[in-house]
Amino acid sequence: MNQKGILVVVSGFSGAGKGTLMKKLITDYPNYALSISMTTRQPRAGEVDGRDYFFVTDEEFENRIANDGMIEYAGYCGHYYGTPKDFVEKNLEEGKDVILEIEIQGAHKVRAQYPDAVLLFVMPPSAKELHNRLTGRATETEEVIRQRMLRAVEESEGIDTYDYIVVNDKLEDCIAQINTIVNAARHTPSKNIEFISEIRKELKEFLGSR
């Protein structure tokens, strides 16, 4: 059976640990491909262009939109973020499970275009732990941390449109849960339409030949 890959949308409050989770997930399992987003925000210390994001100007970003080169894009805390289309399409076609680590507005746009996508929300174990993680990062000012926590309150209103929630308490457990969810998605009827019609055809042929 030659299946296309699963499109996996992973969202979660800033500081929930999605980045660390996704990096480990793709290292532990060979079936995943992580999409690299484009953004107009400045790189943080240690971030590398082309690995963490494609860091671009507003003009470059807007050109990409105009040329239909984005699956989705959204504004987040004053900057653009978007998913380049070519990487996603190519990898899904090759049977890879493609991960988009994006915020909630983008997730809704992906769902509209790819109804089979699996939408997964990563939660921190508590608000206090979220604040600790954001502070521990030491790359953002207290004002930016506050903005991100306010945004988390807003985002918490939209979580019921996701398919699954995972709590990122222990990294290893959370990764195992995500992998289980993605593997389960391979077994939905909508992901197996061709296989189902193949079996139906075989059944009819078999019956016809007896």
Question: What whole-number distance in Å separates Cα of residue 63 and Cα of residue 162?
Answer: 30
Name the residue among 69, 94, 126, 81 with its Cα closest to residue 7: 94
SS3 100: strand
Are residues 106 and 41 in contact, defined by beta-carbon separation less than 8 angstroms? no
How many residues bind ligand 5GP (CB under 6 A)? The answer is 14
Burial of residue 197 (number of CB atoms within 10 Å: 0-12, 13-18, 19+)? exposed
Interface pick for ligand 5GP out of 88, 103, 117, 182 (rule CB under 6 A)? 103
Q: Interaction with ligand 5GP in 44-73: which residues (CB under 6 A)? A: 72
Indicate whether 81 belongs to the interface with ligand 5GP (CB under 6 A): yes
Site string for ligand 5GP, 8-27 (x = CB under 6 A): ------x-------------
Indicate whether 40 belongs to the interface with ligand 5GP (CB under 6 A): no
Bridge partners (DSSP) of residue 74 are 81
Select the span of 21-29, 99-107, 121-129, 199-207 touching ligand 5GP (CB under 6 A): 99-107
Pick between residue 81 and residue 162 the one whose CB is nearest to ligand 5GP.
Answer: 81
Indicate whether 97 belongs to the interface with ligand 5GP (CB under 6 A): no
Interface pick for ligand 5GP out of 5, 17, 82, 124 (rule CB under 6 A)? 82
Question: What whole-number distance in Å separates Cα of residue 119 and Cα of residue 24?
Answer: 19
